[in-house]
Amino acid sequence: MPENAVPNKYPAQPMEITSDETYAKLRNDLEFWEPWGRRALAAAGLPAPGALRVPGESTNPVLIADTGVVVKLYGEHWCGPENYASEAEAYEVLAGQGLPVPPLLGRGELFPGGDAWPWPYLVMAAAPGATWREATARADRPTQLALARRFGEVLRRLHSVPLSGTGALRPDSPVFAELLAERRAATVEDHREWGYLSPRLLDRVDDFLPSVDALLDGGKPVFVHGDLHGTNLFVDAGNASVTGLIDFTDVYAGDPRYSLVQLHLNAFRADRGLLAALLEGAEWQVTDTFAEDMLRFTFLHDFDVLEEVPLDLSGTDDIGELARLLWDVR
């Protein structure tokens, strides 16, 4: 069962998903989800599509219609209730903020009013442009840097959004600090299992990580998107613009540095030139301890964030050297 998964507390589902195992097998199965996606679109009063497709691997079932809309369904497994609450709250907080977030077109439940899990859903406009991963694979270096700089501007605006939520996006929400505390307790064991880093280096991580309170140091919380990977960011390489920002299941009122971890290590694949351009666009003040601080947030991130890093880090035994390899932009 994934971390923080909600135990099954509902009767057997009308959709024949009754366990984490069956959910895992079916969550990206177009044939299985297409009828339910069409049902959600009809309930939202939107035109019936000619065809639906699954964009790729995702935690929650996602269907893209040829009418230019996206349906996202939330089950009771794999943290579905928390994901729905976070994403619905994020759309409320982001509404009217002028960011490149596809508008929310509808929301509801497939099975309202019963004892079983109701299967809530959201319907959004599809993000225009291409994913960061697709676009930058074809772009030249000046275009890549221009796109990174432009997203830095968007990130600065995202971090300035007023925290008007009632859950994880409430200014005094404890969710982010609780997450960091959980990760601090589990990170060494997790990294030993993932195997990207030297055992000798991991022996030093406990001493390297401060308490959560010391790390946050009373900083003002901002809107944090914790999963800015290479397919959650959409761009137009032709005019170097950011056209879409999606997937708000991992959002917090928290430290802005947390937003950089997936963005740099997954989307940028640890390209420090792109990181430097982004920080310039964001008008980010890079301190003398930036690299070490960012390595601390790397260890405290909720995901396997080194999976896409194209560097062999296994021979690095010194924490300071690892911080420089991944995060030094000076």
Helical residues (DSSP H) of the chain, grouped into ranges? 20-26, 30-43, 80-94, 132-138, 141-159, 175-194, 199-202, 205-208, 212-216, 257-262, 272-282, 290-300, 319-327
Assess contact for 10 and 76: CB atoms under 8 A.
Answer: yes
| Distance from C-alpha of 235 to C-alpha of 100, rounded to nearest angstrom | 10
Assess contact for 319 and 204: CB atoms under 8 A.
Answer: yes
Phi-psi region of 251 (alpha: psi -120 to 50; beta: other; left: phi over 0): beta
Q: Which residues pair with 118 in a beta bridge?
A: none
Largest CA distance in the chain: 58
Given the residues 227, 250, 255, 302, select the one marked as catalytic.
227
Catalytic annotation on 236? no
Assess contact for 79 and 168: CB atoms under 8 A.
Answer: no
Report which of 164, 272, 304, 279 is spatially closest to residue 223, judged by C-alpha positions. Answer: 164
Q: Rg of the chain's alpha carbons, rounded to an integer?
A: 20
Token duo for residue 317 = 């035994």
| Distance from C-alpha of 320 to C-alpha of 98, rounded to nearest angstrom | 39
* DSSP category for residue 139: S
Q: Which residues pair with 213 in a beta bridge?
A: none
| Distance from C-alpha of 179 to C-alpha of 181, rounded to nearest angstrom | 5
Q: Which residues pair with 109 in a beta bridge?
A: 120
| Distance from C-alpha of 265 to C-alpha of 327, rounded to nearest angstrom | 9
Identify the sign of the CA torsion 311, 58, 5, 94.
Answer: positive
Token duo for residue 181 = 């505390």
Q: Active-site positions?
A: 227
